[in-house]
Amino acid sequence: MGRKRTEIGKQILSCIALLTCFLVSSCAFSERQPVNTANPVPTEDWARVHAARGQKLLAQRNYDGALEEWQTALSISDGKPPADESLLYIGQIYCDPENPKKDFIKSVASFQRLAKEYPQSPWADTARIWIEHLKEQERLRKGIAESLQENERLKKQWNETLQENEKLKRISNESLQENARLKKIVEDSKTVDVEIDEKKRSQAK
């Protein structure tokens, strides 16, 4: 009777061990395969997973990777949080001065979409501030560009003025030289006339 109980106990322990292995394998599989059609994870949770990845990549200055994660979070959030936060970070990524692919237009568009589609979002005021800041930066940039163009125009005009002055100076010098030549001719003519008059008076005597 005792032997029979021992065998039954061994069988129970074997079943428990097999059940434990099955549970461990199921957990490992669920980690590798996050989407479970039988019991799907809420879309909002997956959106936040991508958002967290985006934050981590952005901290590492991996702009392309961060942008991809935030865009994924935005696309699967279906207009719910963290869609508003995703738009905020997408806008910040596009306007980050260290981002080699920064894009002023896309940045402003992302912030404007956040302010328009999610006016009650805690990020809406931040988006509006960013919009004004970027527009002011763009106005300053255009102002600087126009100033540089005006400087180039004035510089060109100044160079043309200097060239014209040099030209006038050269013409003036040539005129002075010509006047001196003509004056010498006149003086020589007067000398010749005097000599002729003297000869005529000598011959008359």
pLDDT tens digits, one per residue of 51-110:
999 999 999 999 999 999 999 999 999 999 999 999 999 999 999 999 999 999 999 999
Greatest Cα pair distance, the chain, in angstroms, is: 185
How far is the C-alpha of 70 from the C-alpha of 88, rounded, in Å?
9
CATH 1.25.40.10 fits 28-205, yes or no: yes
pLDDT band at 27 (very low <50, low <70, confident <90, very high): very low
How high is the pLDDT of residue 40? 55
**Residue, of 31 and 43, whose pLDDT is higher:** 43
Is the per-residue pLDDT at 36 higher than 70?
no
Q: List, in sequence order, the alpha helices (H) in 33-123.
A: 43-59, 63-76, 83-95, 104-117
- How far apart, in whole angstroms, are the C-alpha atoms of residue 121 and residue 190? 102
Question: What's this model's pTM, rounded to 2 decimal places?
Answer: 0.59
Using an 8 Å Cβ cutoff, are 130 and 91 in contact?
A: yes
Top pLDDT among 161 and 22 is at 161
pLDDT, residue 175, reads 85
CA dist., res. 142 & res. 148, Å (int): 10
Ordered alpha helix ranges (H), the chain: 2-32, 43-59, 63-76, 83-95, 104-117, 124-204
Strand positions, DSSP E, 96-154: none
Angle made by CA atoms 86, 91, 93, in degrees to the nearest 5: 95
Residue 7: band (very low, low, confident or very high) from pLDDT cuts 50, 70, 90: low
